[in-house]
Amino acid sequence: MKKELKTLTKEEHKVIREKGTEQPFSGEYDNFTKAGIYLCKQCSTPLFLSEHKFNSHCGWPSFDDEIESAIKRQPDIDGKRVEILCNSCDAHLGHVFIGEEMTTKNLRHCVNSISMQFVSQKDYQENQPTVDKAYFAGGCFWGVEYLMKQQNGVINVVSGYMGGEIENPAYEQVCSSTSGHLEVVEISYQKNKISFEALAKLFFEIHDPTQSNGQGPDLGEQYTSAVFTSDADEQQTIKKLIQILTVKKYDVVTQIRPLSQFWKAEDYHQDYYTKSGKQPYCHSYQKKF
């Protein structure tokens, strides 16, 4: 299931999908000071808080910070600037500039008003469904992150490490099997749109749960297949799905482990396939249920 995207007007499509730019000083949020949250116009993902906004007098809304993991950057087609996009749906937002010394953070996200939707903090909280988190280890986190992120109801997916014995491990330590961590994805999801069981089924269907020494060509303890559960219900769900697969002659080796400290991986691991333009080499969908 793909994320639900809003149907755009002709003007919105020109900016959001065709990477256009609205006229300076013409946008709804240029001279706008209400307290609240700025969402992506296309997928409603929260992007900026009103406290991030400042008046740069440039003609477009400016923000010197962002909600964590909401924005991604890539070189602009003009070869000079850096484009910013919604990390959830690739909607074009505008550009980011560093070193202008307009605020203490020395950062300016220059954003088209038409790419955003503003809501008050109260309205956002009242309409925001409960968000839960799930943790899966299915080999290299790049592929699991990429495929999980496409599901409707999934808000965000972060690659990281879990299950080890040292704090804040580096990738090199995890790869050397000296830290005891597995490569894990942290999935933030809306329970009213997708269930833990649906995510767990997909987890089993996008990797090989019968491979004990890694995943595909990636071999090593850090690629162990495992689910880190937070309560008895999640444990029972995984046990039920493993039993179903066992009846279907799958020799499942996936481990069920208790939830432990999650450590976010280095930035270059986040959204790897989206940023590189490549496709997963050891993860693909195979219906099993």
Reported as a single tens digit per residue, the pLDDT across 46-70 is 999 999 999 999 999 999 999 988 9
Among the residue ranges 105-119, 166-180, 192-206, the one predicted with the least confidence is 166-180
Reported confidence tier of residue 129, pLDDT bands at 50, 70, 90: low
pLDDT > 70? residue 12: yes
Coil/strand/helix, residue 203: helix
pLDDT > 80? residue 126: no
pLDDT > 70? residue 94: yes
pLDDT > 70? residue 3: no
pLDDT > 60? residue 2: no
pLDDT > 60? residue 239: yes
Report, as residue numbers or ranges, the catalytic residues. Answer: 110, 140
Coil/strand/helix, residue 165: coil
The predicted pLDDT at position 1 comes to: 40
The predicted pLDDT at position 281 comes to: 86
pLDDT mean over 263-278: 90
pLDDT mean over 13-22: 96
| Domains identified in the chain and CATH numbers | 10-125 (2.170.150.20), 129-276 (3.30.1060.10)
The predicted pLDDT at position 275 comes to: 87
pLDDT mean over 85-111: 96
The predicted pLDDT at position 216 comes to: 87
pLDDT > 90? residue 121: no
pLDDT digits (tens, 9 = 90+) for 142-159: 999 999 999 999 989 999
pLDDT mean over 167-195: 92
The predicted pLDDT at position 192 comes to: 84
Mean pLDDT score of the chain: 93
pLDDT mean over 253-257: 97
pLDDT mean over 256-279: 92
The predicted pLDDT at position 177 comes to: 82
Among the residue ranges 27-36, 116-125, 130-139, 264-273, the one predicted with the least confidence is 116-125
Cβ atoms 117, 50 nearer than 8 A: no
Cβ atoms 50, 125 nearer than 8 A: no
The predicted pLDDT at position 35 comes to: 92
